[in-house]
A and B are shown apart, each in its own frame.
Chain A
Amino acid sequence: MKILVPVKRVIDYNVKPRVKADGSGVDLANVKMSMNPFDEIAVEEAIRLKEAGKAEEIVAISVGPAKAQETLRTALAMGADRAILVETDDEVEPLAVAKILKAIAEEEQPGLVMLGKQAIDDDSNQTGQMLAALMQRPQGTFANTVEIDGDSVIVKREIDGGLETVKLTMPAIVTTDLRLNEPRYASLPNIMKAKKKSLDVKTPADYGVDTAKRLTTTNVAEPPVRQAGEKVEDVDALVMKMKALGIA
């Protein structure tokens, strides 16, 4: 079985985003960029399935600028076998990303496509579900555990009320949640080896996908800022404050 793992290059999760003064977006100049953390979890899970003998090949895919090659090299250094960059400098919406991934899936015929549940930049939480719809295949979103069982994959999902387990006929789409695993760091020898792995560069047009945006962002603003309040001396002072608020 082959596993496709789409990965996105995003602002590093430790960086506090700054809104541009002209309201056109978030300032990404000279900001540290990394692989979307949920995608790292997806790469890790694919590698673990391969190590367990459940998968033969892992193909990492990114849709984005030339710099996304770095993100793909990270996936390769972690243990993906080869990579495809669908290069574009345009901002590509989840629907168009899903269309590109569908076209790649038609060529590659994977048993699983494993994606992060959301990207921490646009926080859309859409791509995996959209891909599943376009491929007319089942989806196991917000995965907490993933287990291959013959022609099926059993996914335990993190839902608002707790956990839910579903059984999906493969090919299937899985999106990762935080508790699925703890991604490994790439070792130095593996980073060196990753440089020699194959990385194909394509364009959205190669897959016949129109990436024109459906949503126009007319403004990006700072959220209302909260002012820090006051610090109280001790528990007694806190109790007084809470009583004044009408609690307790």
Chain B
Amino acid sequence: MKTLVLVEHDNQSMKDATLSVVTAASKLGEVHLLVAGSSCDAVAQEAAKVAGVGKVHVADDPAYEHGLAENVAPLIAGLMDHHDAFLAPATTTGKNIAPRVAAMLDVMQISDILSVEGEKTFTRPIYAGNAIATVESSDDKLVITVRGTAFDKAEAEGGSAEIEAIGGPGDAGVSSFVSADLAEGGDRPELTSANIIVSGGRALKDGETFEKIITPLADKLGAGIGASRAAVDAGYVPNDYQVGQTGKIVAPEVYIAIGISGAIQHLAGMKDSKTIIAINKDEDAPIFQVADIGLVADLYKAVPELTEKL
């Protein structure tokens, strides 16, 4: 089988999410990558080094600069004449583009796969991860999004794939990029690749308090910062901090939930973490049912003390 993997990038460098998708694709067959962007040569060079990749298709066109689905999906659909499966990361980029490709090919997409069980058989979470379905496709081609935490990352170095420049249909003329308001990375690890995550919930009261309590602990541990939906809705932190069924799926070595009750929608995003630590003043909070280490305490006292003593 010949697979095509969408490379996620910002026209300068490749995003890590791509590497897990390469691993999933390699279980199906030969792996080709697609870099669709503008002045994205550096990304193509990086993609060509990924171990196990046969070819990198590069579509360099201003129409692809911002990854607009209206422009990128027809490009991918065209390439699918020569590929059997299209795979994208289950990130907001992949989730935006892949179903558009699937419908163009008259294929039913398989979202957020956790494992490859056979040529056309996969497992995927449903009902906020409270059930795992095994599904088999009857379509001729496959369109798949891949859950990053479920597959190891392919080696970023060691490959030497051929790079092929390709043309594409260009601008569909129905949408345009206006602006982006992106979180500044700084030194803090990105949520989906952090080894340790400190997450805060509704109990943090407001943005200032969240910052005062959560950030020093995260700094001390070199951790990424996450949040519950309640904390995001209330405006303590931006939307990209949300961990859960409908936010980011994370599986760090250590996840520290502070003032988070443990609703099923939140657990869906973090229960595959290796070690879960919970600090909550309510000893019956559901988060303790999944926590390896629990501390029943007032976070306003416990967290500063913890930060100091670590």
Contacts and interface: CB of A to CB of B under 8 A. Distances in A.
A139 B69 contact: yes
Given A133-B101, A162-B183, A218-B135, 7 more contacts: A125-B95, A127-B99, A130-B99, A133-B102, A138-B174, A178-B242, A217-B134
A41 to B, nearest CB: 11
B63 interface: no
A219 interface: yes
A242 B196 CA distance: 12
A113 to B, nearest CB: 14
8 contacts: A26-B126, A94-B99, A94-B109, A95-B108, A123-B126, A139-B175, A141-B69, A245-B254
Contact of A247 (B101, B108, B135, B221): B221
Contacts of B70: 132, 138-139
Interface of A: 11, 13, 16-17, 19, 25-26, 38, 93-95, 98, 117-118, 120-134, 137-139, 141-142, 144, 154, 157-169, 172, 177-179, 213-223, 226, 228-232, 234-239, 241-242, 245, 247-248
B131 A220 contact: yes
A5 to B, nearest CB: 19
Contacts of B134: 217-221
Contact of A163 (B91, B121, B135, B180): B180
A128 B97 CA distance: 11
Contacts of A215: 108, 110, 135-138
A118 B233 contact: no
B128 A120 contact: yes
B178 A129 contact: no
Main secondary structure of the interface of B (DSSP, over half): mixed
B291 to A, nearest CB: 6
Contacts of B248: 160
B183 A161 contact: yes
Contacts of A11: 127
Contacts of B73: 133
Contact of A235 (B108, B137, B306): B306
B241 to A, nearest CB: 10
A157 to B, nearest CB: 8
Interface in B208-242: 220-221, 229, 232-233, 238-240, 242
Contacts of A160: 91-93, 192, 240, 248
A220 B176 CA distance: 41
Interface stretch (B46-54, B153-161, B295-303): B295-303
A231 B279 CA distance: 10
B263 to A, nearest CB: 9
A123 B290 contact: no
A24 B91 CA distance: 29
A167 B176 contact: yes
Given A125-B111, A223-B130, A167 B265 contact: no
B42 interface: no
Interface string B37-63: 000000000000000000000000000
Contacts of A238: 277, 293, 295, 302, 306
B309 A235 contact: yes
Contacts of A177: 239, 246
Interface string B247-259: 0100001100000
Nearest to B97: A129
Contacts of B165: none
A131 B102 CA distance: 11
A168 B96 contact: no
A121 B131 CA distance: 10
A232 B291 contact: no
Interface string B89-126: 00111011111111110111111100000000100011
Nearest to B124: A123
Given A167-B175, A248-B220, A126 B92 contact: no
Nearest to B15: A160
Q: Which among A124, A133, A241 has the highest number of chain B CB atoms within 10 Å?
A: A133
A241 B293 contact: yes
Contacts of B69: 129, 132, 139, 141
A231 B295 CA distance: 6
Contacts of A128: 99
